[in-house]
Structure formats: C-alpha cells, structure tokens
Amino acid sequence: MLRRRLTSLLLRSPCSSSVASSYHQQQHHLLLPTHAEKPPALNLLRLFTSLAGTDGDRPFIAFVLGGPGSGKGTQCSRIASDFGFSHVSAGDLLRNEISSGTDQGEWILEIIREGRIVPSEITVELVRKAIESSTAKRVLIDGFPRCEENRIAFEKITGTEPDLVLFFDCPEDEMVKRLLSRNQGRVDDNIETIKKRLKVFESLNLPVVEYYSSRGKAHKINATGTEDEIFEAVRKLFSSLRL
C-alpha cells in the first residue's frame, strides 16, 4: 500500500491549486525519465553546471530520501565514491550526538526510541555544521529532510534549496525485512519501532517528496533488486550529469 501511494504521489499533481498550473507546465521536466526522454537529463545537466560552485562557497546539494531500509545509505556511499560527493548522513549525525553522552544526546535517543521526529532545529544545525566543515563541492545529505518542518527550517537557516532530490522507492514489506535482518545493534531496529517509523515516514516524508516533485527536482529510483542493480539506475542518472 505504501509503495502504491508513493508511486501515485510522484505521478499526480499537487493538491494545492496554487501550484497545480505550474506543476502541469513542468510535467515534461519532472524526473522519472525513460531512455527516450532526453530533456529531463539535459535539464539536470544545466542545473548542475549553472549552480555547482557558482554561489560563493555553496556546494552542489543533493537530498536523498526514502523509507527506513530502502538502502539509501548504501547507495549514498557508492555515489560518494564514484562521483566525488561528500556523504552526510542525518541519521549518523544524530547517532553520533547520542554517543557523545550529552543531555541533548540522551534526549535524541528517547525521541528515536519512540519513533518520533527529532526537532528540526537540532537536525538542521547538525547538518549545517557538517556541510560547512566539508571542503567538497558536491554534498549528499542522506535521510533529510524527514518532514516539511525540516525542509522549511533548512531553507530558512541555510538560505538555499537542494539542487537535486533522489527518492528511493521500496515496498514496505521489503523495508521491514531488511531492517530486521541487518542486525546493526541499533535501538530502533525492532518490529514495534520499525512499524512506527514506517508510519511516520508515510505521514511526514511524503509531503516533502510531493513538494520537490512539484518543483521538478525529484527523481525516483526503484530500490528493489540487488545493490548493484539499484546502483546501475543511480549511476545512469549521475552519469547524465557528467559529474
């Protein structure tokens, strides 16, 4: 059900009538291209060459979205290695803060245990510091933004938007199976918390996907199959950018 909703979300127009007309005008630019559709790739290429490295010290920023267990972290590591991106994981930043033993870290731990979203100002500040500390001209921000509040806070605090948004589309049952089998010792890898996380993802992440789809920035990646098969689709996208 979740996957069907995600797919229909990326294909339908936004609910808001104020953006509907502009959405339809951009439909031929929306990412979800076939091999015969060259304009989206060319549009991405123009976007990359016009924005990357031209806004002062601002790097090219790609948000990577997808449900828990969709494999986005693994794919980000390969993108970073093959295409010269710095990989910033919002989840890792939060877990590092937890391991620091601070009061804020303990508070974040409790929030994650309950399957809730960490307050935007905390996550955005961690992400901002990670971006500023990197010397890379291209940055992947993995697992962020988790909700519209995150998105709005990021744009307000940093004064910028992402240049590209990847969305890893994976069936719910596959995500559950992956999370239960990976055995990484994470506090949020149990069936009760996984179900909470999937519900949170469905209710809060989808409006973010919809927003960036309406702006022609979202590209859906089929996150089923082997790691290599999934990366082949990712590689084709980034190769079209001539990175």
- The residue ranges of every structural domain in the chain are 58-241
Q: Is the Cβ–Cβ distance between 77 and 64 less than 8 Å?
A: no
What CATH superfamily is the domain 58-241?
P-loop containing nucleotide triphosphate hydrolases (3.40.50.300)
pLDDT of 242 reads: 63
pLDDT of 187 reads: 54
pLDDT of 34 reads: 33
Q: Angle 175-140-235 (CA atoms, 0-180°, nearest 5)?
A: 75
pLDDT of 189 reads: 61
pLDDT of 53 reads: 42
Q: What share of the chain is helix, strand, coil (3-state, %, to 5)?
A: 60, 10, 30
Residues lower than pLDDT 70 in the chain = 1-56, 183-189, 242-243
pLDDT of 52 reads: 43
β-pair type (138-142, 86-89): parallel
pLDDT of 188 reads: 59
